[in-house]
């Protein structure tokens, strides 16, 4: 197989350009989608230890990968809109710029929870790919939470801020637990 890197190179050139988008949120969603795809790949190449397959997990991972791809595009659009405002970012725009990375983090959390099954039931010869996927998704999740918290610092609505702070804390705790369980499964194989 020969990898055609032209589309990837164009995306990376866009990220490295003087334009405001795509930026960190888009990059995090793409990294999450890549990590998800690696976990999917392990499902494809595995019969679980009970003789079954990971088809159900693979289907769920595919749904989340598609969602993360959509979120990458949504983040770029939100950032473009945010910086295009003549009077600077408004409260509604900042809330959208907080909501997209929170949604990205939630999608990554779902992937990490699914990855627990992948690292437990997947083929031992493919588990290293699942670990790479877990680490990419975990990084994407934490980057998304950091982006959301950064944007939250500029929002004046205290009830919105409180809700988002609570959501980010819950996501972080659950994600760290899922990552640790997935990594523990991999290390035990």
CATH number at residue 141: 1.20.120.680
Q: Is residue 17 part of a domain?
A: no
CA 2 to chain centre: 26
Q: Would you state the structure tokens that stand for residue 186, as one six-digit string? A: 């991999």
Position 1 scores a pLDDT of: 57
pLDDT tens-digit profile of 143-175? Answer: 999 999 999 999 999 999 999 999 999 999 999
Position 49 scores a pLDDT of: 56
Q: Is residue 62 part of a domain?
A: yes
Q: Is residue 131 part of a domain?
A: yes
Position 46 scores a pLDDT of: 87
CB 62: neighbour CB atoms within 10 A?
14
Q: How many domains does the chain have?
A: 1
Residues of the domain holding 82: 22-187
What are the residue ranges in the chain where pLDDT is below 70? 1-2, 47-51
154 vs 29, 88, 93, 149, CA distance in Å?
A: 22, 12, 11, 9
Q: Is residue 5 part of a domain?
A: no
CB 113: neighbour CB atoms within 10 A?
17
Position 161 scores a pLDDT of: 98
Mark 160-176 as b/e (b = at least 16 C-beta within 10 Å). Answer: beeebeeebeebeebbe
Position 63 scores a pLDDT of: 99
């Amino acid at each position: 197989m020969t990898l055609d890197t032209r589309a990837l190179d164009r995306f990376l050139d866009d990220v490295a350009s003087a334009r405001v988008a795509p930026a960190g949120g888009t990059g995090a969603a793409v990294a999450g989608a890549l990590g998800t795809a690696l976990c999917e790949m392990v499902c494809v190449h595995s019969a679980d230890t009970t003789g079954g397959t990971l088809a159900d997990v693979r289907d769920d991972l595919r749904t989340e990968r598609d969602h993360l791809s959509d979120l990458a595009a949504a983040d770029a659009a939100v950032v473009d809109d945010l910086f295009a405002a003549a009077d600077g970012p408004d409260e509604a725009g900042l809330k959208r710029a907080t909501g997209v990375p929170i949604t990205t983090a939630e999608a990554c959390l779902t992937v990490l929870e699914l990855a627990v099954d992948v690292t437990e039931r997947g083929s031992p010869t493919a588990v290293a790919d699942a670990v790479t996927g877990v680490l990419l998704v975990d990084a994407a999740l934490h980057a998304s939470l950091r982006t959301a918290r950064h944007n939250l610092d500029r929002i004046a609505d205290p009830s919105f801020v409180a809700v988002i702070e609570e959501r980010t804390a819950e996501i972080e705790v659950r994600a760290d637990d899922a990552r640790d369980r997935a990594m523990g499964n991999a290390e035990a194989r």
